[in-house]
Chains A and B, each alone.
Chain A
Amino acid sequence: MARKISYQQAINEALAQEMRRDSTVFIIGEDVAGGAGAPGEDDAWGGVLGVTKGLYHQFPGRVLDAPLSEIGYVGAAVGAATQGLRPVCELMFVDFAGCCLDQILNQAAKFRYMFGGKAVTPLVMRTMYGAGLRAAAQHSQMLTSLWTHIPGLKVVCPATPYDAKGLLIQAIRDNDPVIFCEHKLLYSMQGEVPEEVYTVPFGEANFVRDGDDITLVTYGRMVHVALEAANNLARQGIDCEVLDLRTTSPLDEDSILESVEKTGRLVVIDEANPRCSMATDISALVAQKAFAALKGPIEMVTAPHTPVPFSDALEDLYIPDAAKIEAAVRKVIEGTRSAA
């Protein structure tokens, strides 16, 4: 069987393999080496959670600690990308997007269009997202729908170590700017990952569970929560199909529609806030293009329309869990029983 490594190791391995293959790939970010200029080790941290640990010594001069200035180094990564390099910049927490948004929103994303198709900006911005670490409102957001909303960006949210490696290699080789979102609670997740180099294509959702009764569409960490719910529901005789989008831009509309055409029922699960979210986007897509196949209303399981709270008592309520997904599924199933 294939070797098992963690999501975090898979990301590190993807970076190492691509840096070895392509000398134009480099890493820049806050503490990506960690320790630059400090009295201790030069790569004391290897990223705030150690994701880039060890790369500094393997690739001298290509793992660059930046001063704490997200506009400065994210913008520098964008600029370097226009000059024939393939920067992988790390925005430590996606919440810091507020600081550097212009360089992504108005620069990287728009160059190709504004410049009449002449610019190529192969930027990867790796960033950590998601609730569950008691990190409160400024270190726990999703923002996936924000990125997905912006034409010119590709948005990737791997759910497994296998996908993390293959999608990151794809992202580095991709010629468009890619926002690569890593859920902080997934870093320790173990999974089978080939030692060899491979890519997972963008825009191809993964059917992580086949089922006939209802379609659960989700992405990122919620894939595992949806699977837990699906397994619980199986004991009650409800057979869920679980679709992991893998990338929200491009979006695999065909697979979503294919599944809903089969099951006639849809629950969308999104860890993000509900308004203008992937959940509403996918619900609208299905309502528009597969309405006739629907046996009843679509349900959405999302975070509430609040910031992420700090106290565990509140954060646990904030994050969609299997029980909420099961309740939503039962609601749809019961509401459509006559049509079943």
Chain B
Amino acid sequence: MSTHLSPEQLLHAYEVMRTIRVFEERLHVEFATGEIPGFVHLYAGEEASAAGVMAHLRHSDCIASNHRGHGHCIAKGVDVYGMMAEIYGKKTGVCGGKGGSMHIADLEKGMLGANGIVGAGAPLVAGAALAAKIKGTDDVAIVFFGDGGSNEGAVFEAMNLASVMNLPCIFVAENNGYAEATASNWSVACDHIADRAAGFGMPGVTIDGFDYFAVHEAAGAAIERARSGQGPSLIEVKLSRYYGHFEGDAQTYRAPDEVKNLREQRDCLMQFRNKTTRAGLLSPEQLDAIDARVADLIEDAVVRAKAAPKPQPADLLSDVYVSYP
């Protein structure tokens, strides 16, 4: 294979995907111990999407995520320890333990929040894109939603608004085949989510979400289009999650060996490693070194998060308002 990506870019892409994978797999293990409160929705298997899109972004670009948001956060540069502490409900978490897995946000990094309401991020990034347009910057705004979210009216309204106002906005539909337990090939009325783009007067493409390079290329084109004032795009990324809708989901709705086959045959990290090493772009040692570094990073994050203090009673009442007499 050939690519215009530099070795540094390739190493970074691998490190992002690897960090997400280890973060999520560790959460899978830790959640089973009962130490993590609430519920978590894991992104493992979908890493190429977050990494491939976010490779084009800077801090001033804005993204909004969804309930399955850890991967987007990591790829956008949110502190991994702060995320882990947040998921453990600790005061040192990125949201002080008040948001949890579904509400991790870091506005300084352009991360407008994971979101517990399906489809809700779409109008928000339309607003962020509008802000960029009013301020006269060339920043873009991107929303990630799933095949479930693709059926939400909020997403339709945001797509129409973005098109009417010619906003620098990208709609990324991560179609992992299931909205909770309902299959997307049943719940989405058209053949491809990307087909809906035509109805809103914007380009739409469907790409293979196991292939980092395919995502990177499609996202790059859409983002360039947005940055140069040509308006919004829709990208449907077809991929799969390796775990259930949430941790504890027995996934009885999935075919036997569905995930096993995907992991063995299509896994994005495996493909990336194979392609880059076979082409002589990266060495296995370089990638192994990243694996080791990421393992240490996540181990450290978990140890520190577990040891971190919980919020204090006074924290219950703070931060509702900027000011309230």
A contact residues vs B (CB 8 Å cutoff) = 26, 28, 61-62, 64, 66-67, 69-85, 87, 102-103, 106-107, 111-120, 151-152, 154, 174-176, 201-204, 250
Contact = CB atoms under 8 A, between A and B. Distances in A.
A76 B134 CA distance: 13
Interface in B102-157: 103, 105-108, 112-113, 115-117, 120, 122-132, 134-135, 141, 153-154, 157
Residue of A70, A85, A111, A116 ringed by the most chain B CB atoms within 10 A: A116
A83 B59 CA distance: 12
Given A64-B130, A152-B320, 7 more contacts: A62-B134, A71-B158, A75-B120, A85-B131, A175-B323, A176-B323, A176-B324
Contacts of A120: 322
Contacts of A113: 98, 319-320
A69 B126 CA distance: 13
Interface residues of B, number: 50
A106 B135 contact: no
B256 interface: no
Q: Which 5 A-B pairs have the closest CB atoms?
A: A75-B123, A79-B127, A72-B157, A116-B96, A117-B319
Interface stretch (B160-168, B211-219, B261-269, B291-299): B160-168
B321 A152 contact: yes
A79 B130 contact: yes
B132 A117 contact: no
B93 interface: yes
B105 A115 contact: yes
Contacts of A80: 127-128, 130-131, 134
Contacts of A115: 95, 98-99, 103, 105, 107, 113
B325 interface: yes
24 contacts: A26-B134, A62-B134, A64-B130, A67-B160, A75-B122, A75-B154, A76-B124, A76-B126, A79-B124, A80-B128, A81-B127, A83-B128, A83-B132, A85-B131, A85-B134, A107-B117, A112-B321, A114-B99, A115-B107, A115-B113, A154-B321, A176-B321, A203-B324, A250-B324
Contacts of A85: 131, 134-135
A81 B129 CA distance: 11
B82 to A, nearest CB: 10
Nearest to B91: A116
Nearest to B95: A116
B321 A72 contact: no
B160 A77 contact: no
A119 B123 contact: no
Nearest to B154: A71
Residue of A64, A76, A107 ringed by the most chain B CB atoms within 10 A: A76
B62 interface: yes
B89 to A, nearest CB: 12
A78 B124 contact: yes
Residue of B105, B123, B132 ringed by the most chain A CB atoms within 10 A: B123
A62 B135 CA distance: 11
B232 to A, nearest CB: 12
A81 B97 CA distance: 24
B134 A72 contact: no
B99 A79 contact: no
Contacts of B95: 114-116, 118
B105 A118 contact: yes
A130 to B, nearest CB: 26
Residue of A26, A70, A113, A115 ringed by the most chain B CB atoms within 10 A: A115
B94 interface: yes
Contact of B117 (A73, A102, A154, A250): A102
A75 B98 contact: no
